[in-house]
Chains A and B, each alone.
Chain A
Amino acid sequence: MGRLVEHPILDVKSSTSKAHVVFYFEGQPICALPSDTIASALIANGIDIFGFTEHNHARGFFCAIGKCSSCLVEVDGIPNVRSCITPVRDGINVRRQEGRGKPKW
């Protein structure tokens, strides 16, 4: 788990790039690359539980292309954000979604 630092085919220079974005997951700062999605940044940091279902089952991502809605997280209080196709942004607050997500009005 973590980032690829060498690869026989792909250019992985970006993995070691200094430019980074910091966001928060469950209150903890997470260091990401500007090219990351929320999902790729979490997995690169060893986090694979993105939320819990209504029946309290752990959920991670599944399809990575925005089709399955398994990877839903809460971003800045807004639930049901597909983390696999949402780019990271500096300072966003990401939380594990519980159940269908409760919007904070």
Chain B
Amino acid sequence: MVDNEAGGRKHVDAIVIGAGPAGLCGAIAIAESIGDGTKVLVVDEGIEPGGQLPKQTHKFFGHEGFYASVRGFEIGKRLVDKAKELGIDFLMQTTLAGIYEDSIVAYDRNSNSVSEYTADYILIATGASERFLLFKNNTLPGVYGAGAVQTLMNQYKVMPGKSFLIIGAGNIGLIVAYQLLQAGAKVKAIVEATSKIGGYMVHANKIMRLGVPILLNHTIISALGEDRVEGAIIAQVDGKFKPIPGTEKEITVDTICLAVGLQPSVELVAQTGGEIRYISELGGYVPVRDENMKTTVDNVYVAGDLSGIEEASTAMIEGYIAGYNIAQKITGKDLSEKITDMKNELVEFRKGPFAAKVREGLKKMGISFPSGGYREEIQQIPSSPSKLKAVIECPQAIPCNPCETSCPTGAINTGGNINGVPQVDYEKCTGCGICVTKCPGLAIFLMQQREEHSIVGIPYEFLPIPEKGSSVKLLDKNGKYVADGQIDRVMINRKEKTHIVFLKVPKGMEGVVRHFEMSTASEESQAYICRCEEVSRNDVEKLIDAGITDYEEIRRVLRIGMGPCGGKTCRSVVLQIISEKTGVPISESRLGAFRPPVIPLPIDAIVRYAKGVDTDE
């Protein structure tokens, strides 16, 4: 409930600016604690609440308490539902235009009017905006922020292009690349100026096995095109990130995605008089705040990316910490237990190597977080399991444990610390595959060595879902073709939307094969073998896969070799394919009959001969 004050100003106990994960959790914490949601007002510029969650289609890392293994857009929905249940007021499409000494001014785009507020407490959770990158033609339409592409593609279901170049191999660049592939776009490359992939290796592996190259020590020099992007020039960079002359390369793409980091949106904190300091590890200019998320102004709190670029999970935790602190002051109740719980969560989430920058940055503000205490040792993969077993390829210490918590037999553990590298107890693993569908990094595979071939089960989140029995090209972890294989079966998971595709692979290749390509989709398979009857390689392969491996039989079904040329062009090719696919050497296959006539004879010529007509007549 918003109380009206003199002068048309409205008063609330707490105003929360920003309806993303941090703001929502902050508002929920306040509303829950004071037992009245109507005393909390959430203001946001967006059309719907949720911040950047609605555009996140991947499953989040972390643990169950903070929605690990739940897709971002679903987390957004749950938080918004919870906030609305608590009766929290939302003022959407409203920009907090300024925080003045005497009032907070909100501009409502819908009604094109401003309104004034006062609040006892302000929680600012305005998030961050995308960093810009300086290169020639960087304002050309077609050069978009990575987050913008996500918004368009995942929230509005509109594709801004067909082939993409991504700048930056941090988590955002890697995730966007994967999501573009899921939406059916092409990703030509990811270029990264530094010498290493900044994001999680599990995210990088997801796109590398689909064949997307990650070019380290590379940058973009220029976008090409007159009125919109038609390509890009990239080049290698030296140790000082300067392009090396002569290494320039042109790439044809219609969209360039910038994923070069985020910068906190500090404007409103600055207007409250809160101190702003430049701390590069936290993303640039950030508000100075204490461990309770309080800024240098007594009743102003911050949370989420605004207070330092990090993850949605930590943004939620920070939101709770700020919210409980505000609620404690409003109600006078002791909420220290809840606050301590949340602080302990943060400690856990920030122990790993990926939080090193955040720890460094916070230290400069006088807030220290411990590191270490987790397992880094990578388990040796069993060489040839005769029963289906899970193999986890999650080599870095990241704060995530759904593999452990989802395993029905307790076979997986992260070593007592959420950051620990997971290990499998192969005595207990039944190969059920639940962890494969739960792992947010899609880093768990199933393996089995059978008599005649091996089986690899891979997590799969693409369309179309392959059909059992169809032949596929097997790809390694870099997306390189390694052998031909077959779809053994598909375990469809409609709820999780992470399916498991079981591939039949040559024996001994279970440690190599990490993805596949539908054979029918390849350009080679669309090639014609038989010019006369227009029979493609794919047509022939399908028949062979269905068990018809004799040239004569194939000829009868497809009419291959029955056209005017009599098989002169196609016979040897078909025999070659039969040999490749069946493993029977071409020298041992049945050649098929060579029936006369060798060339099509005009019936007239035969009739004349039969009648004894002199051809010279």
User: Which residues of A does B touch, CB under 8 Å?
Assistant: 1-4, 6-10, 12, 14-15, 35-37, 39-40, 43-44, 48-50, 53, 57-68, 70, 84-87
Q: Are A65 and B52 in contact (CB under 8 A)?
A: yes
Give B45's nearest chain A residue, CB to CB. Answer: A66
Measured CB to CB, the nearest residue on chain B to A53 is B139
Contacts of A68 in B (CB 8 A): 129-130, 145
Which stretch, B146-154, B366-374, B445-453, touches the partner chain A? B146-154
Bitwise interface map of B from 13 to 54 toward A, beta carbon under 8 Å scored 1, else 0: 000000000000000000000000000000001110000100
A50: B residues at CB distance < 8 A: 141
Q: Specify which chain A residues have a CB less than 8 angstroms from the CB of B182 in the assembled complex.
A: 7-9
A40 CA / B160 CA spacing, docked (Å)? 9
A9 touching B71 by the CB < 8 A rule?
yes
B residues in contact with A58, CB < 8 Å: 140-141, 226-228
Which A residues are CB-close (under 8 A) to B141? Answer: 48-50, 58-61
Q: Which parts of B134-184 form the interface with A (CB within 8 Å)? A: 139-145, 147-149, 151-154, 156-162, 182-184
Contacts of A36 in B (CB 8 A): 156
Whether A6 contacts B228 by the Cβ 8 Å rule is no
A4, A9, A66: most-surrounded residue (chain B CB, <10 A): A9
Residue of A12, A36, A37, A67 with most partner-chain B CB within 10 A: A67
Is B384 an interface residue, CB under 8 A from the partner?
no
B103 at the interface (CB under 8 A from A): no
Q: Give the A-B pair count, Cβ closer than 8 A.
A: 122
Interface presence of B93 (CB below 8 A):
yes
- B162 touching A62 by the CB < 8 A rule? no
CB distance from A40 to the nearest CB of B (A): 4
Q: Which of B57, B160, B462 contacts A48 (CB 8 A)?
A: B160
CB distance from B247 to the nearest CB of A (A): 28
B158 touches A43 (CB 8 A): yes
8 Å CB contact of B47 from A4, A37, A70: A37
Complex contacts, B109 vs chain A, CB 8 Å? 85-86
A84 to B109, CA, bound (A): 13
Docked pose: A31 CA to B451 CA in angstroms: 58
Contacts of B549 in A (CB 8 A): none
Q: Is B461 among interface residues, defined by CB-CB distance under 8 A?
A: yes
Contacts of B145 in A (CB 8 A): 62-64, 68
Could you say which residues of chain A place their CB within 8 Å of the CB of B52?
A: 65
In the complex, chain B residues whose CB is within 8 Å of the CB of A84? 148, 151
Q: CB-CB < 8 A to A12: which residues of B?
A: 157
The answer to whether B463 has its CB under 8 Å from any CB of chain A is yes
A2 touches B47 (CB 8 A): no
Contacts beyond the supplied A61-B144, A85-B46, A85-B109: 17 A-B pairs with Cβ under 8 Å = A1-B161, A7-B182, A8-B461, A9-B497, A10-B157, A15-B157, A43-B160, A44-B158, A58-B140, A61-B148, A64-B144, A64-B152, A65-B46, A65-B129, A67-B265, A84-B148, A86-B109
Contact with A along B178-193 (1 / 0, CB 8 A): 0000111000000000
B60-88 CB mask vs A (1 if < 8 Å, else 0) is 00000000000101000000000000000
Tell me how far the C-beta of A39 lies from the nearest C-beta in chain B, rounded to whole angstroms.
8
From the candidates A1, A14, A65, name the one contacting B160 in the complex (CB within 8 A). Answer: A1
Residues in chain A near residue B156, CB distance under 8 A: 35-37, 40, 44
User: Do residues B57 and A10 form an inter-chain contact, with CB atoms below 8 A?
Assistant: yes
CB distance from B315 to the nearest CB of A (A): 16
A3 to B158, CA, bound (A): 4
Query: A4 to B254, alpha carbons, bound, how many Å?
Result: 17
Instruction: Assess the A14–B157 pair: CB atoms within 8 A.
Output: yes
A10 touching B154 in the complex, CB below 8 Å, given contacts A48-B228, A49-B228, A50-B141: yes
Give residues of chain B (564-616) contacting chain A, Cβ–Cβ below 8 Å.
Answer: none
Interface string of B76-115 (1 = CB under 8 A from A): 0000000000000000010100000000000001000000
Q: Report the Cα distance A49→B497, complex, angstroms.
A: 36
The answer to whether A65 and B159 touch (CB under 8 A), given A9-B57, A60-B142, is no
Report how far A60 CA is from B160 CA in the complex, Å.
Answer: 11
Chain A hits for B161, CB < 8 A: 1
Contact A62 B144 (CB under 8 A): yes
A90 CB, min distance to chain B CBs, angstroms: 15
Taking a contact as CB atoms closer than 8 A, the residue among A35, A57, A65 that contacts B151 in the complex is: A65
Q: Give the docked Cα–Cα distance between A43 and B265 (Å).
A: 27
B41 to chain A, nearest CB (A): 20
Closest chain A CB from B118 CB (angstroms): 25
A1 to B254, CA, bound (A): 10
Residue from B139, B160, B182, B228 with most neighbouring chain A CB atoms (10 Å): B160
Q: Which of B142, B147, B157, B497 sits near A64, CB closer than 8 Å?
A: B147
> Which residue on A lies nearest to B109, using beta carbons?
A86
User: Which of B147, B157, B254 touches A3 (beta carbons < 8 Å)?
Assistant: B157
In the bound assembly, the distance between CA atoms of A60 and B140 in angstroms comes to 7
- With contact pairs A37-B47, A63-B147 given, residues A8 and B157 touching in the complex (Cβ less than 8 Å): no
A53 to chain B minimum Cβ distance, whole angstroms, is 8
* B 322-360 to A, binary, CB cutoff 8 A, 1 in contact else 0: 000000000000000000000000000000000000000
With both chains docked as a complex, state the minimum distance between the C-beta of A30 and any C-beta of chain B, in angstroms: 13
Question: How many angstroms between the C-alpha atoms of A13 and B170 in the bound complex?
Answer: 32
What CA separation (Å) do A13 and B151 show in the bound complex?
17
A-side contacts of B147, CB under 8 Å: 63-65
Q: How many whole Å from B69's CB to the nearest CB in chain A? A: 14
- Distance from B128 Cβ to chain A, minimum over Cβ atoms (Å): 9
Distance in angstroms between the alpha carbons of A48 and B148 in the assembled complex:
13
